[in-house]
Amino acid sequence: MKSSLKPWLLAVPLALYGVAAQADGHSAVGELPPETAAAYEGVDDGQPIGKSAYRDWTPRSQAPWTIGYASSYAGNTWRAEGLKRLTEELLPAYKEAGIVDDIIVTQSDLNDARQIQQMRQLVDQGVDAIIVCCSNPVALNKAVEYAYSKGVVVFSYSGYLTSDKALNASSNYTLGGYEIAKAMIEELGGKGNFLLVSGIAGAASSESFDTGAKRALEEFPEANLVGQVWGNWTDQVAQTEVQKFLATNPAKIDGIIAQGSQETGVLKAVLQSGREVMPISLAGSAGAACYLKQNPGWISHAFQIWPPGDEMELGFNSVIRTLQNQGPIVQSILRGVYRVPAEEYVAALPDDCSVDSTEYIQPGIDVWFPDEVAATYFLRPSPPLEWKTQ
């Protein structure tokens, strides 16, 4: 589901915080245009932002290329939506253009050792690039090095890997966590008790979000983090964990800061608890957005931070550009997040929408990562689908 968000929102930066990524010997951010570099403000200390190892790299074979997707988890609707975009939209389009011939998908079910084995097998099977998502930032590094030694690039979307031979593409999740938490606290007058609902423990994007959210909480002396649970970015898991927390912690909760793709489960837990529904951060789940449409004034805003199909396409787009020798400048391609007024956020939802919906409100790739923005991250940019005609 595409929202009615205006493309110009991309050009309106949020209030940034902290110290910008330093353009020193360990950073390539200073080589980016100022408006692109702004997305790196307050970046996670662990996020690699040095010079890309693929500036003058060519893959081990010519197009059409085979892409491996070494998925770490398939247990939530966010991952399903990303996989749908990959196999039902991107593969047919790039196959028709003669750029990609196949995509091979593996699943490791949050088992690092299995994912490493699958990545090595994909390399040995002859893939030209491997996409991973939302993984532990260091666990896969040996597999990345193996792939690089065989002429295969590994690209992490919606998270990062710390190897200097990996490439990464996503939102700045630390900034997202900070902005989402800050907006929630300010909505409640700068004080109150807050519950943090995280994603998967140890996953880079989850940890980055939490780092940003906790930084925001530290700025408000009367804002208290009274609990943290992990929902695995899965509505059913988040609903269970929040239910357990609310049942065993009778103190008032004034607001819930939730990582995206699980806020519908969080909402259902609160509804079933019998408590008054407090503000819950919104970041794309159509079910929770429907509750907002049915209850105007519940919260004044939402955020776009990780729309699942658009995040997958951002990563895939970057992979193809790298295979085309467009020369990524920096190890991590980061884009900013943005805040959306509530009225605008729910505008695309039908009047008969359901809080049980598993769909997502997504801005669309022409807003999330348009060609003119993508070009600023590469030395020799060209729209990837037009590459064959160059």
Positive/negative CA dihedral, 141, 146, 151, 157: negative
How far is it, in rounded angstroms, from Cα 380 to Cα 377? 9
**What is the mean predicted confidence (pLDDT) over 373-389?**
91
pLDDT band at 134 (very low <50, low <70, confident <90, very high): confident
Q: Radius of gyration of the chain from Cα atoms? A: 20
User: C-alpha distances in angstroms, 194 versus 164, 258, 337?
Assistant: 37, 10, 22
Residue 295 burial (10 A CB sphere; 0-12, 13-18, 19+): exposed
Token pair of 199 as six digits: 């994603």
Question: Lowest-confidence range among 6-20, 156-170, 192-206, 316-330?
Answer: 6-20
How far is it, in rounded angstroms, from Cα 122 to Cα 247? 46
Can you give the pLDDT at residue 368? 93
pLDDT band at 3 (very low <50, low <70, confident <90, very high): very low
pLDDT surpassing 70 at residue 9: no
Can you give the pLDDT at residue 12? 36
Can you give the pLDDT at residue 337? 87
- Nearest 5°: the CA angle 41, 42, 44 is 120
Average pLDDT of the residues of the chain: 92
pLDDT band at 326 (very low <50, low <70, confident <90, very high): very high
**What is the mean predicted confidence (pLDDT) over 24-38?**
88
**What is the mean predicted confidence (pLDDT) over 59-67?**
97
CB-based contact 145:49 (threshold 8 Å): no
CB-based contact 325:57 (threshold 8 Å): yes
DSSP symbol at 378: B
How far is it, in rounded angstroms, from Cα 29 to Cα 94? 30
pLDDT band at 73 (very low <50, low <70, confident <90, very high): confident
pLDDT band at 17 (very low <50, low <70, confident <90, very high): very low
In the chain, the percentage of residues whose pLDDT exceeds 90 is 87
DSSP string, 165-199: TEEEEEE-HHHHHHHHHHHHHHHTTT-EEEEEEES
pTM: 0.89
How far is it, in rounded angstroms, from Cα 379 to Cα 367? 22
Residue 277 burial (10 A CB sphere; 0-12, 13-18, 19+): middle
Going by C-alpha positions, the residue among 332, 334, 331 that lies closest to residue 306 is: 334
**What is the mean predicted confidence (pLDDT) over 96-121?**
96
Can you give the pLDDT at residue 291? 98
Q: Strand pairing of 301-304 and 338-341?
A: antiparallel
Q: Strand pairing of 166-171 and 153-157?
A: parallel
Can you give the pLDDT at residue 4? 41
